[in-house]
Structure 1
Amino acid sequence: MSGYVALLREPLVARPFVASVVARIPIATAPLGLVLLVRTARDNYTLAGIVTGLFAVGLAIGSPLWGRAMDRVGQPRVLVPAASVSGLFLLLLTAATVWTAVPVLVLPPLALLAGGFFPPLSPAMRSTWRVVVTNERARRRGYALDAAAVETIFVGGPLLLSVLLLLGITPLPLVVTVVLLVGGTLVYARSPGARRVLPQPPGAHGHGAGTALLHSPGFALLLVVIAVMSVGFGILDVSMAGLAEHLLGSADRLGVLFAPIAGGSAVGGLLYGSRDWRSHDRRRLLVTLTVFGSLLFTVAFAAGEGIPFPVLLVVLFLTGLFISPNLIAAQGLVDALAPGHRLGEAQAWLSTAITAGAAVGNAVAGVLLDVAGARTSLGVAAAAVLTAAAVCLLAQRTWSAHQRDPVAVH
């Protein structure tokens, strides 16, 4: 851990990193907060699902647009207005939900707009890592630390929400979410580290500037791999709720199953970032996807009757070890495949692929749980990840031909 501690002692690193973590907590609290608020105020699970789904759709659509804007005009001029508008729509959505005289038809458009203006903080922070950390090994540790922080957010966000709900004020979780989003983004955008990320000069957009990233075979293949992998993620998340209900008697005990897999992901990210890898990101992604998918099949088996519960927890932790390395390798491959002046937009497209794939997986898992149960659903999640690994294998030659020297990217 000494390398990570030394990294965080750098003033240009610590302030933007901590601020970005705070600003990204709403990634976990906003969707769950919306579900709970709509369910409580409107007593309608279907409406809650529609509102949350449209928030995710807006997020998927808006991320690449804001990422490209950051590349062209700089981070502060994009992040602060986007966060402020997104926060405003979240507050309007909260008020419209609680005030039951407002027609339900008003809620879905507000959710779509709140998600559409949500700032692309993860791509922004990755750009900051590239600029303020000049040593390649230290930068790789920064990427791993960032991935581990995101995993912690997805565990800590719901816990924070639970604490706020104990106060008995229904709109409070979303109000706090807005404060974290806007306040964290403002501190991040004003930090000296983030301000070092300069927009590309107009001349830098001359060659290939008008070519859509999605027209690049290598980049498009990567998005397919990540989207299919994320379908597995989405199925896994919902399957954990079904498994908790099956094994522990209540989906409310999801945290007992989710903690080891999320904790394993955080540990795996830190271990991955602490090593000096000689192989290419494309090859490491193939390995981590294959192992992750295989372990998911093991989880499905360990969830069966007669398997000791502690064994399942150990398998979940081992499976989690390979989640963050998948994402870190994919981010590195994005940097190697995308044009230097489009890296913010490229990383935002990666976020969109993850969000869209997970949303599909969530929907598929709901059907699978109703029809076949949690073990079958987990098996399908494993199959999705291994399908992504198969596409990754087929894409190796294309990626080798199209990727640039990662050192040159930085």
Structure 2
Amino acid sequence: MGRLPLGVTTLALFFGTQATTGSLETASTVSAAAMIGMAAGAPLQGQLLDRFAKPVVIVCFTVLQVATFVALAVAVNGGSATWTLAVLALCQGMTIPSLPSCTRLVLKRAVSAGEVDAAFALDTTLMEVIYVSGPAIAAGVTATWGPQGLFLGCAVLVAAGTIFFVRVTGARWLGPDPGQAERAPDKEDLRPRPHDSRHWLPAGGFVLAMALLAAPFGLIECALTQFGTEQGTGLSLTGLILSVTGLGSIAGGLAYGTVRWRTGPARRFVVLVLGQGAAITVVAVLPSLGVVWTGLTLAALCTVPLASICFHMLDLLSPPGIWMRMQSWGAVANTGGHAAGVTLGGYIATAYGSGATFALVGLCAFLAIMAAMPALLNPSVRRPEPAKVGAHAE
């Protein structure tokens, strides 16, 4: 409940501003301000979560988030200037409570080591459901109750969801960093220590890899739009394919979460990235309608499993003391990569067509593996997770 606004807020800002001002340019500016705020605020909140009591930090950011939503509702209803809406959108992005990262921390502590991958996969699938259903919710509520009703509804959901989350989890699951609280350093812990400079290369490279894997989402949106123009079908084809691929990603996440894997996260990461890149490359080489449908559907099956593995590998690469910060940088990589993909994809699709844009997606997959190589060679992500006693490994 508390995370539902994540799937609707950016679109709510876009729809609400456009409905109020009648300007797509203003709506784009306000939405971009929210994304910039998201990228700027997540690392700061991650650092605070690593240093102070997590329930307190989450509640403080929730209070600021609710206040920002209320201010946005008032501003949109009152027809405020563009700069006012942009500043409020920036504040909204900066004050989003890190419920996804905190949820992964709770799951990490609540299940055995061999079940973390499945728990992350199911949680990522839930987030995908939110993002897939978000556009319809945002459009429907905006059309029925107006943008101010959507903003006020988001405020209620964030407040109620966060209060429930904190009360249920509390200090038991949101205590100190897992690397500090759950075990003392020993020779079996292959993760680098916080002040060991070796951890910055694999962790930083992997965050860059996550950004390169997020860019294709924006690139594919632009490529599909251009492909629809080339085929003479317009935006209807784009919307239909995106809806089908969204359902495919959910199905892939559910299937992935039910399997206990023998291989370590590093090998699964490489296989999924190569599989997704190969499917899109075929689309670039043979851009017919049937190939586009098939290739994008196959690629979508890898989306949620790949996102789950990325956050799991960040967990394994994070030294004690900066766990929340690393998870926050992962979120920044997703947001920034998507935004960069949309920006670059718009230019490439217009200048060189949909085929070149699809080909760029395949290139991103190759570059992501190169950027992630130091992390993939790290012993902590090459080992398979220990299975529970008596559990069967698929």
Which structure 2 residues correspond to residues 296-335 of structure 1 after superposition, within 5 A? 296-301=280-285, 303-304=287-288, 307-308=289-290, 312-335=292-315
Q: 1:272 aligns with which of 256, 261, 277?
A: 256
Q: CA deviation at 1:320?
A: 0.6
Q: 1:200 to 1:288 in 2, by over 3 A?
A: closer
Quick check: 1:75–1:195 contact (8 Å CA) kept in 2?
A: no
Quick check: 2:213–2:337 contact (8 Å CA) kept in 1?
A: yes
Distance 1:86 1:243 in 2: 39
Distance 1:48 1:71 in 2: 35
Distance 1:274 1:210 in 2: 34
The reply on whether 1:41 has 2:42 as its aligned counterpart is: no
The reply on whether 1:128 has 2:128 as its aligned counterpart is: no
The reply on whether 1:367 has 2:351 as its aligned counterpart is: no
Equivalent position of 2:358 in the other structure: 378
Distance 1:274 1:168 in 2: 40
Question: Aligned partner of 1:390: which letter?
Answer: M
The alignment covers a number of residue pairs equal to 380
Taking structure 1 as the reference length, the TM-score comes to: 0.83
Q: CA deviation at 1:162?
A: 2.8
Quick check: 1:128–1:194 contact (8 Å CA) kept in 2?
A: no
Q: 1:106 to 1:77 in 2, by over 3 A?
A: same
Quick check: 2:252–2:302 contact (8 Å CA) kept in 1?
A: yes
Q: CA deviation at 1:223?
A: 0.8
Distance 1:213 1:143 in 2: 28
Which structure 2 residues correspond to residues 139-288 of structure 1 after superposition, within 5 A? 139-167=116-144, 169-192=146-169, 195-200=172-177, 211=195, 216-244=200-228, 247=231, 249-251=233-235, 254-288=238-272
Q: CA deviation at 1:385?
A: 2.2
Q: 1:128 to 1:297 in 2, by over 3 A?
A: same
Q: Structure 1: where are the runs of 5+ without partners? A: 1-21
Match of 1:139, SS state, is helix
Q: What is the Cα-based RMSD across aligned positions, in Å? A: 3.1
Quick check: 1:132–1:193 contact (8 Å CA) kept in 2?
A: no
Equivalent position of 1:112 in the other structure: 90
Q: CA deviation at 1:89?
A: 1.4
Q: 1:349 aligns with which of 317, 324, 329?
A: 329
Distance 1:340 1:383 in 2: 34
Which structure 2 residues correspond to residues 15-54 of structure 1 after superposition, within 5 A? 22-54=1-33
Equivalent position of 1:18 in the other structure: none
Equivalent position of 1:59 in the other structure: 38
Distance 1:61 1:214 in 2: 25
Distance 1:235 1:348 in 2: 23
Quick check: 1:23–1:183 contact (8 Å CA) kept in 2?
A: yes
Distance 2:384 2:171 in 1: 21
Q: 1:69 to 1:163 in 2, by over 3 A?
A: same
Quick check: 2:216–2:361 contact (8 Å CA) kept in 1?
A: yes
Q: 1:200 to 1:381 in 2, by over 3 A?
A: closer
Question: Aligned partner of 2:154: which letter?
Answer: T
Quick check: 2:211–2:333 contact (8 Å CA) kept in 1?
A: yes
Equivalent position of 2:76 in the other structure: 97
Equivalent position of 2:56 in the other structure: 77
